[in-house]
Structure formats: C-alpha cells, structure tokens
Amino acid sequence: MSNNPTGKRICATTGLPICLDAQFFVKCNAVLGVVFLLIGGIGALLLALTRWQTVHLLPVDWFYRILTLHGLNMLIFWILFFEVAILYFVSTSLLNVKLFSVKTAWVSLIMMLTGAVMVDVTIMVGKADVMMTSYLPLLAHPAFYLGIILMAVGTLIAVFNYFATLYKAKKEKTYQGSVPLVVFGATAAAIIAVVTLLHGAIVMIPTFLHSAGWIAQPDPIWYRMTWWGLGHMSQQVNVCAMVSVWYFLGAVTTGAKPLNETVCRGAFLLYIFFINLASAHHLLVDPAVSSGWKIWNTSYAMYLAVLASMIHGFTVPASVEVAMRAKGYVKGLFGWLTSAPWRNPGFSAFFLSLVIFGFGGGITGVTLGTQQINIIAHNTLRIPGHFHVTVVGGTTLAFMGLCFYLVPLLFQREFIFKPLARLQPYLFGIGITIMAMGMSFAGSMGVSRRSWDIEATGSIYGSTAHLFLAAVGIGGVLAFLGLLLFILLTVGTLFFGRRFAGKPMESWGTPKQLGREEHGHAPVGLPSGSGAPAMALTEAHPTQGTLVLALIFLLSFAVYYFANWKALADVWPVR
C-alpha cells in the first residue's frame, strides 16, 4: 500500500486523505515524544517522592539533577516532538496536500533527536545541574547548551516545513476558502513558535560560547529576560496547540462545530499579538528590572491574551452543548453534559483538560501574574502548582486524548485493553489535580519550590504543610501511574493491536441522535437551523448550560483573587 503512486491513502474511518510521507514523520515524532515523556515521567515520580517530605527519597545532588532532567524532557522534548507531529498531521491531512519536503523533515528529526540525547546524557553524567532555566552564572557543560540549540533549530526547521506545506496547498489549490479552524490554530502556534525559538537561539548561543570559554559571561539580567522570551512564549505555543486539539476532539467525539469562526480566529490572533508581554510575569520580583516596566508589562495588554483563553474556554464547551442539544439531549441545564460520551477517552481527556486548564490553570495564572500578589507567591510551590495544571492537566492530557485517535488511525491497529484506556484520562487528570492542589496549598504556607529539604534546620512548617506535601506525593504517584498506563497502552497498541487496515476503526462511542423516529431529518452533529419543533425552546438559548458554567468560573475566580489580596494585606498590613 505504501507504494501507492499518489503517495496518499484515504483513512477509512474519517475519510481524511493521509500523506504517506507525512504519516511516517508523524509516527516518528509522536513515538519519540512518548519516549521522552517516559524519561520525564520517571523523573516526575522520583521528584514527587522527594518533595513528600516524609519519604524524602533522593539525595541532594540527584534531586537537582532529576529536576533538570524532568523539566527539559517534559516541557521541551515531549511537547516539541508531539507538536511537530501535530503540525505535519494537520497541514497535510486537513488541507489534502503532500508534505513539502521529506529531506527537511529528516534533517529536523535528526537534529532534534541528537540535541535531546546530548542534553539528557550531559545531565545524567552530572555536568548540567542547572535546572531547566539554567540562569547564569550557573554553568553547565557546553554540550548541554549545544543540545538545546540543536533542539531549537531542529524544531524551527520543522516549522519551516509546515509553512512550506501550507504554501504548497495554497499554490495547488487543494482547499477552498480559508483554512479550517484547527489549521488556523496550529498556524498561530507555529508563528509564536518561530519567535519563541529565535529567543531560545539568541540566549543559548552566547551562553554556549561562554561555557566553552570563548567569550566573557553574558549579562545575567539580559539572560533572564531573554530566556523567558523562550520559556513563557513556548507556553503559548502549547496553549494554541492544545486549543486546536480541543476543537478537533470536540468535533470527532460529539460532532461539535465552532460557534463563530471569526470570533475563534480573532482569539488566536490575540495570542499572537499580546503574549510576549506576559513573559514579564516571571521577573516580577527581580530587583534588576524597574517597577515601571513590570507594571506596564503585567497590565492592560497582557489581559488581551487572557481574554483569548476565556473566549476559547467558552466557545469550546458551548459548541459541544450546541451539538449535543441538536442531537436531542435537551434535558435541563446540563443534560447535554451528563449524556456526553464520558467513556470515550478522546472526549474525557479533552473535557478534563478543558476544565483543569480553565479552572485550575487560568484562575491561578491570572492571580499569580498580578504584580502585587506575586510577592507572596514567588518561588513557592504555588508556581509548579500552577503550571502542572496548565501544561500537564491541560496540554499533556489533551495530547494524550488525541493519541486515542491518532495512534489507531495512523498505525491502523485497534487499541488494546480498551477498558483500561477509558480509565486512563481520569487517573492522570485526577492525580495531577491532587498533586497541583497539594503544591498550591503547601506553597501558600510558604514551602518553596526547587527545595530539596525544606526543614534542614529543624521543623518550621506545621503538620498541615506536611499533609499537603503528602498530597504532592500521592497525587504524583497517581499521575505517574496514569502516565505509565498511557505509554503501555499506546506502545502495546503499536505491537499487539489488532490490524484493521482498509476498514474503519471501532468507535470509542459517540452520542447517538435521539428522537430520530419523530423527526428523522435532523442532521447528525449539526446545529439545526429549522429542524425539530421539540427543540424550538432550547434553540433560543442553545448554550445556557455553558453560560452557567462560565458564571461559576467567574465566581470562583473572584473568590480566589479576593482571598489572595486578603492574604497579601495580612503580611503587609495597610495602615
């Protein structure tokens, strides 16, 4: 089949055209991503069992070594490899075009892999105990920086291949009108990725030259500021990619369609324009930066990027609600939600990701990024408490959800142990939420992040803080088990899944159309315009359930925000 003269095959399940060259690289990049996820995951378990103060597993040098390993393998290697897979997949399949260049894809893959291996080896031999941020004057072996540069440039080359593929599709007129929303979101991610990776190169090249002894030390303040151009903006790449995956999974699991394409596209544009400003929230207590700079960069325009997330946070569940109501699930405010396909891991991973990211990540993020409040949260465990609900409960979980479709469809094998697969998103999502809450509450009591032993000089945190640190340990173990289950299931599927080439894959389960007997003409998954009289009432307010969820969200935000100002006033009495 692979010597098909057109170089494409038609997916028997989705009807999408699959470019065989692209399919090969999607598989390679996704599998490598999962390998690095496993390395990062083993590190995660060791870290969680060390921060659980009663267990306190690792010795001091290994704690910082594994912390460095974990941060880079998770946030950089797993995420970037997987994002490249997504870019190759959406550009070729959704636009029905062949990958622009196989050679370029090889160059990118080899550079990224070499870079990642160099970094991991350098860390494991103890030559790069500098943590993920590698702030100067901390210094690692040159191979560490060179590895990161290779990774960044390799990814840039893949992004170039993506843009060239888009251009090819446009030139060959393989699609009509504007690109689909998922491609639009992926393109927003790719544009931000270019700016992000350039920051990475700008900061890492002089640091590499310095570590090799060829130039003087670059200014540490310059380093911190430029590094966060990489560190923060890459999070926006993740958010764009995650939101695109939400739209994709919403469509395949419930038939959801974007409510208003223009608004959704506008929200992606807001990310592109305003996200760089938010890098400033990492330097809010940095004495080297002026107050004016901090105030300007963490106010006004920064919230336009937050607005973008709020728009997606509303339109994504609302589109599911509209689709479910159109299928006849109209009972009460939340009938559409309770009847959603919760046993379909593509849906549960997507919806849990949405809720964990929105409620957990969004609320804590805006609060921690407030200049005044940051002073009581900076460098405490509240910070990893925040980003484990964004990049782990949000992005990573959404990517896992995508794999429940991507892996069977590309490898043409049925998933193994389906009942376990249905459980996986819950195990991972609940585990990470428990861990992040443990981190946040321990952090609120003053427990610092990146701290091997918080009580080296004797007991200073009461038993409550220890309870929260136990939640970090227990939640961490649960999340690790969820992660391990994900890897065993996907890798097991590659080897042992039942082949179904040429036939459609077995459905994970999608909601059926109700009331077909009464009005059999209602289109499946489409928000019907005229259609059934029984639906007339709800069609006037097809998203009232989501509206209530949004109000609960805003209320939770207000309570959390107020509690934080109160906490600030307590340590810093107002006279």
Per CB under 6 A, residues contacting ligand HEM are 41, 44, 47-48, 51, 67, 70-71, 74-75, 79, 131-133, 384, 388, 391-392, 396, 435, 449-450, 476, 479-480, 483
Q: How far apart are CA 562 and CA 143, in angstroms?
A: 47
For 106, the 3-state DSSP assignment is helix
232 binds Cu ion (CB under 5 A): yes
Return the number of the residue (67 or 97) whose C-beta is nearest ligand HEM.
Answer: 67
For residue 76, the minimal CB distance to ligand HEM (Å) is: 9
**Which option in Cu ion, ligand HEM, none does residue 232 bind, with CB closer than 5 to 8 A by kind?**
Cu ion
**Which option in Cu ion, ligand HEM, none does residue 71 bind, with CB closer than 5 to 8 A by kind?**
ligand HEM
Return the number of the residue (362 or 475) whose C-beta is nearest ligand HEM.
Answer: 475
Piece of 75-83, 232-240, 336-344, 564-572 that binds Cu ion (CB under 5 A): 232-240
For residue 366, the minimal CB distance to Cu ion (Å) is: 11
For residue 28, the minimal CB distance to Cu ion (Å) is: 30
For residue 310, the minimal CB distance to Cu ion (Å) is: 17
Q: How far apart are CA 287 and CA 291, in angstroms?
A: 9
Residue 420 · residue 474 · CB < 8 Å: no
Return the number of the residue (238 or 344) whose C-beta is nearest ligand HEM.
Answer: 238
Amino acid letter, residue 501: A
User: How far is residue 485 from each of residues 249, 349, 400, 410, 492, measured CA to CA in Å?
Assistant: 21, 14, 11, 20, 10
**Which option in Cu ion, ligand HEM, none does residue 67 bind, with CB closer than 5 to 8 A by kind?**
ligand HEM
For residue 421, the minimal CB distance to ligand HEM (Å) is: 18
Rounded to the nearest 5 degrees, what angle is found at the Cα of 480, between the Cα atoms of 475 and 482?
95
Return the number of the residue (317 or 443) whose C-beta is nearest ligand HEM.
Answer: 443
Q: How far apart are CA 398 and CA 540, in angstroms?
A: 31
Return the number of the residue (249 or 434) whose C-beta is nearest ligand HEM.
Answer: 434
For residue 476, the minimal CB distance to ligand HEM (Å) is: 3
Piece of 90-98, 206-214, 224-232, 385-393 that binds Cu ion (CB under 5 A): 224-232
**Which option in Cu ion, ligand HEM, none does residue 556 bind, with CB closer than 5 to 8 A by kind?**
none
For residue 92, the minimal CB distance to Cu ion (Å) is: 32
Residue 249 · residue 181 · CB < 8 Å: no
Piece of 161-169, 191-199, 227-235, 515-523 that binds Cu ion (CB under 5 A): 227-235
Amino acid letter, residue 365: G
Q: How far apart are CA 254 and CA 246, in angstroms?
A: 11
Return the number of the residue (378 or 413) whose C-beta is nearest Cu ion.
Answer: 378
**Which option in ligand HEM, Cu ion, none does residue 9 bind, with CB closer than 5 to 8 A by kind?**
none
Residue 362 · residue 303 · CB < 8 Å: no
Under DSSP, the state recorded for 79 is H
**Which option in ligand HEM, Cu ion, none does residue 393 bind, with CB closer than 5 to 8 A by kind?**
none
Residue 49 · residue 55 · CB < 8 Å: yes
SS3 track for 270-292? HHHHHHHHHHHHHHCCCCCCCHH
**Which option in ligand HEM, Cu ion, none does residue 44 bind, with CB closer than 5 to 8 A by kind?**
ligand HEM
For residue 248, the minimal CB distance to ligand HEM (Å) is: 19
**Which option in Cu ion, ligand HEM, none does residue 361 bind, with CB closer than 5 to 8 A by kind?**
none
Closest to 477 (Cα-Cα) out of 72, 31, 50: 50
Residue 22 · residue 98 · CB < 8 Å: yes
Residue 429 · residue 368 · CB < 8 Å: no
- Helix ranges (H only) for 101-141 are 102-124
Q: How far apart are CA 498 and CA 484, in angstroms?
A: 21
Return the number of the residue (232 or 422) whose C-beta is nearest Cu ion.
Answer: 232
Which of 114-134 are b and which e, b meaning 16 or more Cβ less than 10 Å from the residue's Cβ?
Answer: ebbebbbebbeeebbbbbbbb
For residue 362, the minimal CB distance to Cu ion (Å) is: 13
**Which option in Cu ion, ligand HEM, none does residue 384 bind, with CB closer than 5 to 8 A by kind?**
ligand HEM
The rounded radius of gyration (Å) of the Cα atoms in the chain is 24
For 228, the token pair is: 């966060």
CA neighbours closer than 13 Å in the CB half-sphere of residue 269: 6
Return the number of the residue (185 or 393) whose C-beta is nearest ligand HEM.
Answer: 393
Return the number of the residue (268 or 480) whose C-beta is nearest ligand HEM.
Answer: 480
210 binds Cu ion (CB under 5 A): no
For residue 179, the minimal CB distance to ligand HEM (Å) is: 27
Q: How far apart are CA 357 and CA 439, in angstroms?
A: 16
Closest to 29 (Cα-Cα) out of 429, 567, 543, 406: 406
Q: How far apart are CA 141 and CA 131, in angstroms?
A: 13
**Which option in Cu ion, ligand HEM, none does residue 349 bind, with CB closer than 5 to 8 A by kind?**
none
For 504, the token pair is: 């459609």
For residue 35, the minimal CB distance to ligand HEM (Å) is: 14
Return the number of the residue (96 or 133) whose C-beta is nearest ligand HEM.
Answer: 133
**Which option in ligand HEM, Cu ion, none does residue 449 bind, with CB closer than 5 to 8 A by kind?**
ligand HEM
199 binds Cu ion (CB under 5 A): no
For 518, the token pair is: 């009464």
For 33, the token pair is: 């991503």
Residues between 63 and 102 with contacts to Cu ion, criterion CB under 5 A: none
For residue 241, the minimal CB distance to ligand HEM (Å) is: 12
Query: Is the sign of the CA dihedral 252, 254, 259, 264 positive or negative?
Result: negative
User: How far is residue 498 from each of residues 307, 409, 461, 505, 515, measured CA to CA in Å?
Assistant: 45, 12, 54, 10, 35
For residue 449, the minimal CB distance to ligand HEM (Å) is: 3
**Which option in ligand HEM, Cu ion, none does residue 480 bind, with CB closer than 5 to 8 A by kind?**
ligand HEM
**Which option in ligand HEM, Cu ion, none does residue 483 bind, with CB closer than 5 to 8 A by kind?**
ligand HEM
Site residues (vs Cu ion, CB under 5 A): 232
